[in-house]
A and B are shown apart, each in its own frame.
Chain A
């Protein structure tokens, strides 16, 4: 199985070129290559300017940051491939830990409380999807309103104050206090969702829905269901990322996440090679997109660039990566790739 898009079948082309050459060709053609290269080049650059870059504490820091963004980006990519967008996921990120906290305070064990939080978050996705599909309101508008709604709701139930989950250590470790566990979660989620995208019927129908909604519907694909399902997945992953961070930080903040983390997730998806127009995307790409954003942020901080300058550089970096990506995908298209 290749990493992205539709799988490349080997028997078709092995006749005229060697396996190694073909493998190399598929790597060059693959959508993720440019973003992985960018991550490597940036890491080398920052290591050379700030030797602390590859120190253990910094890598841990970077891992936390990239992991959270990557988990949210995985869900966002699914929604983007459908040709929709979810702006509310950052607010679900903030809401879910509170639901877990209050459910636990009401007397249920942490794992159950977590399940309740995930379930209710999936309901937010359901609402986003049903409004978008059945009332035919653009998802930009739908999720913009749920963004404000959920933000207000979280602030109301929390009274605007952070709370402490005080979860048992084993549970907290499993769900993210340990940097390694959070990174493992992010990588596992990215691999599972990439698999869903390229190798399952759900993924194929998701691509079909975003690629040609009318055509897919004419053939009998239930495009409405696909969209609603992916909105639910996106909210679910946003909630899960929020819960992981709540365990890690040891405090649940009603103002955590929000639009910043949502935009970071969308930026990761887009610089990773997902189209905003739908029909095409890669979750592994988004994972590395999150790494690149993390490296940029972290690297500039280490190099002593101020936060103000950082945002300017980040904006430029997104533009440049996009420019390079567009160029590369044109090259791929001309080269007869997928």
Chain B
């Protein structure tokens, strides 16, 4: 079954064409890797899917139904959950309060008194189920490592009934050990098959590790779409190097 599809999405900012006729297809439970050079249109595509930008033309279909994403909260209400690079975590709050931020469990509704013990046990249950290892749920988020923080951000999104997760460079600026936390988490989510995931990434090795399919975005278009098992790092590298050479030639000829 198809979770999300875009048809010929285009977006221009003034005279800069960021995206031209990008068509992406995401199957239910699939992990799709989105590769591309800086400025290839990855962020624009992601921001359209989160409802932050509106496309100039083209369609977005969610489980076969065409949708017009009006805002980030609209997209979120439809189950499209972005995990931002800044993670939207509050350093000063502890782990479970971050997980429940804006979805707090309250004891006496109108007074808004927080039910910390219930939030804590639910967060613990959820993190254990996702096998995210955090030394303590009571520590401030600032005390955790980059990988742990990212894992909590992802877990929070999944927890909020996300159907489609959009991960923007989840392992950027992370060491191998830290990246492994996230890659393991993505793999487990894939095994469960409840959410479909689009991962924007630079690191080919990681993409091959976790993704079912790979799309290459070049100059605002999807230039390559293949199952991970049908391609190789060599082939992808060749495609990107070719693009680079072509770009070099264009520059030197003018």
Contacts and interface: CB of A to CB of B under 8 A. Distances in A.
Interface of A: 5-9, 12-13, 199-202, 204, 207-208, 210-212, 214-216, 218-221, 279-280, 336, 338
A212 B140 contact: no
B243 interface: no
B17 interface: no
B97 interface: yes
B84 A208 contact: no
Contacts of B138: 6, 8-9, 12, 338
B88 A201 contact: no
A211 B136 contact: no
Given A201-B106, A204-B114, A220-B102, A279 B92 contact: yes
B117 A9 contact: yes
Contacts of B120: 9
A208 B97 CA distance: 10
Given A215-B90, A279-B91, A201 B104 contact: yes
A207 B90 CA distance: 8
B93 A218 contact: no
A6 B88 contact: no
Interface in B45-66: none
Closest 4 CB pairs of A and B: A215-B88, A201-B112, A211-B92, A218-B88
Contacts of A8: 138
B90 A208 contact: yes
Interface residues of B, number: 31
A338 B144 CA distance: 12
Contacts of A214: 86, 88
Given A12-B137, A12-B138, A338-B140, A202 B90 contact: no
B72 interface: yes
Contacts of A216: 88, 90, 101
B140 A6 contact: yes
Given A207-B93, A211-B93, A212-B90, A219 B102 contact: yes
A212 B143 contact: no
A337 to B, nearest CB: 9
Contacts of A220: 73, 76, 102
Contacts of B113: 199-201
A9 B135 CA distance: 14
A5 B73 CA distance: 29
B93 A208 contact: yes
A10 to B, nearest CB: 10
B87 interface: yes
Contact of B89 (A6, A212, A221, A336): A212
A221 B92 contact: no
Contacts of B140: 6, 338
A199 B107 CA distance: 10
Contact of B93 (A6, A200, A201): A6
Given A215-B88, A218-B88, A201 B136 contact: no
B112 to A, nearest CB: 4
Interface in B15-54: none
Given A12-B137, A215-B86, A336-B143, A207 B92 contact: yes
Interface in B66-114: 72-73, 76, 84, 86-94, 97, 101-102, 104, 106, 111-114
B94 A338 contact: yes
A100 B104 CA distance: 39
Contacts of B87: 215
